[in-house]
Amino acid sequence: MPRISRPALAIIFTAGLLSGCSSTKEDPTANWSTDRIYTEARDEVQAGGFDKAVPLFEKLEGRAAGTPLAQQAQIEKAYAQYKAGEKEQAHATLDRFIRLHPASPAIDYALYLKGLVNFNDNLGMFAWLSRQDLSERDQKAAKDSYQAFSELVTRFPASRYAPDARQRMTYIVNSLAQYEVHVARYYYSRGAYVAAIARAQTALSDYQGVPASLEALDILINSYDKLGMNDLRDDAKRVRDGNFANAADATKTPAAKGPWWKIW
C-alpha cells in the first residue's frame, strides 16, 4: 500500500476542516436586533407557526437576558410550546418563569396557561372522535389543572383570567366526581357491590353538591340493597329523597353519549 506523505495529509486535513465549516448551518438571526427577533416570533405565532416561533423566542431570551423583553419572550415561548403540542416543555418553561419572576405582572397569566396546558391534555386530542368525556380519562392532569387554576383565583381574584379559570374549575370538579361514578357504575354492573359502594362514597364525600351525586346515591342504595344492608340503604334513601325527591333512578338511565357540561 503506498504511503501518503505528510504534506498530502495536511492538505486533506485542511480540506476536511474547510468542508466541515462550510456545512455548518448559518444563523439567519445573527445580525437581527432583538426587536426584529420578537416581531418575527410574533408573526410566526399569528400565522400558526408555533414550532418556528419557539426557537426565535429562545434566541430572544438569550439576547435580551436580564430585561423585561426576555421575560416576555419566556412567557410567549411557553404559549407557543403549548400550541405546538410540546406540553412538557411548556410546563418546564412556565415553572421556570414562575420561579424566576415571582413579582412579574404576568404571573396570573402564567398560572392560567399552566392550567390550560393540563386541562387540554386531559381532554385528549381525539376525544371528539370517541365522544369520550374528561371524566372517563386519566385524572392526574385534571387535578394538576385544578391546582393551577385554584392558585390563580386565590392569589389574583380580580385577574382577567379568573372568571374563565373558575368555570373550568367547576367543570373539573364535576368531571372528577363523574369519574368516581363511572368506576362505581362499572363495579355495580359486575356485582362488585362493596367496591361500588366505596367509589360512590368517594364521589359524595369529596365532591359535594355536584350533578353526579344523584347517580352516586342510587348506586349506594342499590348496592346496599343487594348486600342486604337495609339500615344503610334506608339512610342513603333519606338523603336522596331530601335532595332528589322526584328524580328517576340514575342507575337505570343510559349514560350520556357525549360531554355533559361544556361552555366553550
212 in any annotated domain: yes
The answer to whether 94 and 144 have CB atoms below 8 angstroms apart is no
Do residues 157 and 256 share a domain?
A: yes
DSSP annotation of 136: G
Confidence category of residue 257, pLDDT binned at 50, 70, 90? very low
Residue 250 pLDDT: 81
Burial 166-205 (b: 16+ CB within 10 A, else e): eebbebbbbbbbbbbbbbbbebbeeeebebbbebbbbbbe
Q: Are residues 96 and 209 in the same domain?
A: no
Instruction: Provide the sign of the torsion angle of the four alpha carbons 185, 190, 191, 192, taken in this order.
Output: negative
**pTM of this prediction?**
0.74
Range of the domain at 180: 106-122+131-264
Residues 93 and 192 in one domain: no
Of residues 166, 164, 143, 141, the one with CA closest to residue 154:
166
Tally of domains in the chain: 2
Q: pLDDT value at position 156?
A: 97
- Residue pair 122/141 in contact (Cβ under 8 Å)? The answer is yes
Asked if residue 153 and residue 90 are part of one domain, the reply reads no
Q: What is the pLDDT of residues 26-69, one digit of tens each?
A: 888 888 999 999 999 999 999 999 999 999 999 999 999 999 99
Least confident stretch, 117-121, 130-134, 146-150, 158-162 = 130-134
- Residue 21 in any domain: the answer is no
Q: Would the pLDDT of 212 be above 60?
A: yes
Straight-line distance from the first to the last Cα atom of the chain, in angstroms, rounded to the nearest whole number? 76
Mean pLDDT along residues 145-157: 96
- Quick check: 252 pLDDT over 60? yes
CA-to-CA separations, 138 to 125, 158, 200, 207, 222, in angstroms, rounded: 13, 31, 18, 17, 27
Asked if the structure places residue 222 within a domain, the reply is: yes
Residue pair 212/181 in contact by the 8 Å Cβ criterion: yes
What pLDDT was estimated at residue 82? 95
Query: Do 90 and 47 sit in the same domain of this protein?
Result: yes
CB atoms within 10 A of CB 93: 27
Where among 69, 104, 139 does a domain terminate? Answer: 104
Amino acid at 169: M
Residue 8 lies in a domain: no
- Residue 70 burial (CB count, 10 A): 18
Average pLDDT over residues 142-151: 94
| HSE toward the beta carbon, residue 119, CA cutoff 13 A | 24
Question: Do 54 and 167 reside in the same domain of the chain?
Answer: no
All three cell numbers of 183, joined, read 368506576
Write out pLDDT tens, residues 64-112. Answer: 999 999 999 999 999 999 999 999 999 999 999 999 999 999 999 999 9
Answer yes or no: do 46 and 169 share one domain.
no
Q: What is the CATH number of the domain that holds 183?
A: 1.25.40.10
- Looking at every residue in the chain, the average pLDDT score rounds to 84
Distance CA 167, CA 172 (A): 9
Report yes or no on 233 lying in a domain.
yes
For residues 117 and 138, state if they share a domain. yes
Q: Are residues 177 and 255 in the same domain?
A: yes
The answer to whether 75 and 100 have CB atoms below 8 angstroms apart is: no
Number of Cβ within a 10 Å radius of residue 207:
21
Same domain, 117 and 243: yes
Tell me the C-alpha to C-alpha distance, in Å, between residue 71 and each of 63, 139, 238. 12, 32, 57
How much is the average pLDDT of 184-207?
95
Q: How many whole angstroms separate alpha carbon 122 and alpha carbon 118?
A: 6
Q: Please indicate, yes or no, if residue 217 is contained in any of the structural domains.
A: yes
Query: Is residue 19 included in any domain, yes or no?
Result: no
- 222 lies in the same domain as 261: yes
Instruction: List the CATH number of the domain containing 54.
Output: 1.25.40
Q: Does residue 90 form part of some domain?
A: yes
Which residues are CB-neighbours of 142 under 8 A, at least 6 positions away?
118, 119, 122, 134, 172, 175, 176
Please check whether residues 112 and 86 belong to one and the same domain: no
The residue among 124 and 118 whose pLDDT is bigger is 118
